[in-house]
């Protein structure tokens, strides 16, 4: 796993939230981030060492919520 791979996850997260916000503009932004993060974790967890993707996404959500 590289930093590039995690930055690509961040890019997919941002893109997913942008798309979801177009369809659900009234939805709380953090809710959209949480849903997108869960979807990414569900679909990509096997591409990373155990716990790495989850920890990265949790940190990202914490930073956004600060």
Task: Give the CA count within 13 Å in the CB-facing half-sphere of 56.
Answer: 22
Two structure tokens written together for 24: 């659900």
Two structure tokens written together for 42: 């569900």
Number of domains in the chain: 1
Sequential pLDDT tens for the chain (66 residues): 667 899 999 999 999 999 999 999 999 999 999 999 999 999 999 999 999 999 999 999 999 998
- 11 is in which domain, residue-wise? 3-65
- d(CA 64, CA 66) in angstroms, rounded, equals 6
């Amino acid at each position: 796993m590289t930093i590039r791979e995690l930055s690509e996850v961040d890019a997919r997260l941002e893109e997913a939230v942008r798309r979801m916000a177009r369809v659900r503009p009234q939805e709380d932004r953090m809710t959209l981030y949480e849903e997108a993060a869960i979807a990414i974790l569900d679909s990509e967890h096997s591409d990373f060492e155990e716990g790495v993707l989850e920890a990265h996404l949790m940190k990202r959500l914490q930073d956004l919520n600060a």
